[in-house]
């Protein structure tokens, strides 16, 4: 008889490594601030939930008990909480608005917070904002960002990320889709719910471009559009819009509605219908005839019926500083309406050595008035 020998192999499974919580301290304007920091162990799949308990909260990771400054996951103080989930396909759910910042790291993560900053990191992540004001950054990958009912900021993929289509849903409130990390051109059309590279922009009221030559087009609501850097084209369309541009040579169009345009540099400005205001500092701004009011660092213009009434803001024009205003090279009088034969350059020239009330040197400014 043959004897069968059966060999059983006992497989020993290593226990999950626990994440740790530590208390970190830093100074904020001379005030000591303490923060709870949860750091997940590398190589683990974490399922973290945070719930309020008294003044503090309880942090539970379904993968392993939490160690460190919070015995059995109970953090007794009302400190801000930062969560770093490291790698893996992780989940973090904040049920009481205690997480100030959570990072998913590498992997396809699901992050839910009642207010604060969420950073998905690399991977195809889902970020869901709660009642508070959230800042959602999906990071590289095909992400879905849901802003919730408050005023949220939703950051799209940064420069160098693969060009994939993200879903960006602002939810309720006044929400902003931001592409400031981009160094390549982006095109955003809020009326069509379109972003660059096939991004879907749902319930987005405001948008910010990147550092290249972007196109930002609003809808019939009141939009805040900021071109950031580059030579951009910005169109407010309908609604009372706030259009902003910091640098470059841009084409800015207000469209219908009572718009406000905040500009730095030399821009082409078409205000459209409505009572619009242009605030332009630096460079020669080309103002079309549909702009009713404009001002600079000191100049104030009122344009009506083919005339311009220029003056200087008295709060910035100290006594004894000489001012000269010319239209097409011809001197004109401040405060008096003057008919404009387009195109013409309106120039404010200050005597050398003029200083404002704070002692800083004052400079003149020019506007190009065109039809």
pLDDT per residue rounded down to tens, the chain (371 residues): 444 444 333 334 445 677 999 999 999 999 999 999 999 999 889 999 999 999 999 999 997 889 999 988 999 999 999 999 999 999 999 998 999 999 999 999 999 998 899 999 999 999 999 998 999 999 999 999 999 999 999 998 765 666 789 999 999 999 999 999 898 999 999 999 999 999 999 999 999 999 999 999 999 999 999 999 899 999 999 999 999 998 788 999 999 999 999 998 889 999 999 999 999 987 889 999 899 999 987 889 998 878 999 998 877 666 678 889 999 999 999 999 999 988 999 999 987 778 877 788 888 889 999 97
3-state secondary structure of 71: helix
Q: How far is CA 32 from the centre of its chain?
A: 29
Question: Under a CB-based contact definition with an 8 Å cutoff, are residues 179 and 185 in contact?
Answer: no
Whether the predicted model's global pTM rises above the 0.85 cut: yes
Strands 307-312 and 338-339: antiparallel
Question: Under a CB-based contact definition with an 8 Å cutoff, are residues 195 and 186 in contact?
Answer: yes
Phi-psi region of 244 (alpha: psi -120 to 50; beta: other; left: phi over 0): beta
Pairs from 283-287 (Cβ < 8 Å, separation ≥ 24): 284/345, 284/366, 284/367, 284/368, 285/367, 285/368, 286/367, 286/368, 286/370, 287/367, 287/368, 287/369, 287/370
Burial class (CB in 10 A: 0-12, 13-18, 19+), 1: exposed
Q: How far apart are CA 214 and CA 211, in angstroms?
A: 8
Measured between its terminal Cα atoms, the distance across the chain in Å is 109
The residues, any chain, with a CB within 8 Å of residue 239's CB and separated by 6 or more, are 218, 219, 220, 221, 222, 223, 256, 257
Residue 198 CB coordination number (10 Å)? 11
Q: How far apart are CA 239 and CA 242, in angstroms?
A: 10
Express each pLDDT in 97-130 by its tens digit.
Answer: 999 999 999 999 999 998 899 999 999 999 999 9
Residue 50 CB coordination number (10 Å)? 27
Q: How far is CA 157 from the centre of its chain?
A: 13
Question: Under a CB-based contact definition with an 8 Å cutoff, are residues 88 and 43 in contact?
Answer: yes
> How many separate helices (H) and strands (E) can be counted in the chain?
0, 37
Residue with tokens 């830093």: 26
Output the six-digit token pair for 296.
């600079």
Q: How far is CA 86 from the centre of its chain?
A: 26
Question: Under a CB-based contact definition with an 8 Å cutoff, are residues 38 and 59 in contact?
Answer: yes
Output the six-digit token pair for 200.
């879907």
Q: How far apart are CA 243 and CA 235, in angstroms?
A: 8
Express each pLDDT in 243-295 by its tens digit.
Answer: 999 878 899 999 999 999 999 888 999 999 999 999 998 788 999 989 999 99
Output the six-digit token pair for 47.
């399922």
Nearest by Cα to 154 from 208, 100, 109: 208
Nearest by Cα to 178 from 198, 162, 195: 195
Q: How far apart are CA 283 and CA 62, in angstroms?
A: 59
């Amino acid at each position: 008889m043959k004897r069968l020998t059966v060999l059983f192999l006992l497989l020993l499974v290593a226990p999950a490594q626990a994440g740790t919580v530590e208390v970190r301290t830093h100074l904020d304007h001379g005030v000591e601030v303490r923060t709870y920091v949860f750091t997940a162990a590398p190589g683990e799949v974490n399922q973290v939930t945070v719930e309020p308990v008294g003044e503090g909260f309880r942090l539970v990771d379904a993968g392993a008990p939490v160690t460190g400054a919070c015995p059995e996951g109970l953090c007794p103080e009302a400190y801000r909480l930062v969560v770093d989930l490291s790698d893996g396909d992780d989940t973090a759910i904040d049920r009481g608005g205690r997480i100030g910042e959570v990072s998913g790291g590498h992997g396809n993560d699901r992050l839910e917070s009642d207010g604060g900053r969420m950073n998905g990191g690399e991977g195809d992540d889902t970020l869901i904002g709660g009642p508070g004001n959230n800042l959602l950054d999906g990071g590289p990958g095909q992400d879905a960002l849901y802003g919730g009912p408050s005023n949220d900021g939703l950051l799209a993929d940064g420069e160098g990320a693969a060009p994939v289509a993200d879903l960006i849903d602002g939810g309720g409130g006044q929400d902003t889709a931001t592409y400031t990390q981009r160094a390549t051109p982006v095109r955003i059309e809020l009326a069509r719910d379109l972003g660059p590279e096939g991004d879907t922009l749902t319930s987005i009221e405001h948008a910010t471009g990147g550092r290249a030559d972007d196109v930002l087009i609003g809808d019939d609501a009141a939009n805040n559009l900021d071109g950031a850097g580059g030579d951009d084209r910005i169109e407010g369309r309908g609604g009372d819009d706030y259009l902003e541009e910091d640098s470059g040579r841009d084409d800015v169009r207000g469209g219908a509605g009572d718009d406000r345009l905040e500009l730095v540099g030399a821009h082409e400005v078409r205000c459209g219908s409505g009572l619009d205001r242009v605030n332009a500092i630096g460079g020669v701004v080309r103002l079309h005839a549909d702009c009713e009011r404009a001002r600079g660092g000191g100049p104030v213009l009122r344009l009506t019926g083919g005339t311009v009434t220029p003056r200087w803001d008295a709060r910035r024009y100290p006594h004894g500083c000489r001012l000269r205003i010319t239209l097409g090279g011809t001197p004109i009088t401040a405060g008096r309406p003057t008919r404009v034969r387009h195109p013409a350059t309106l120039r404010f020239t200050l005597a050398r050595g003029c200083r404002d009330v704070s002692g800083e040197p004052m400079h003149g400014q020019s506007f190009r008035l065109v039809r």
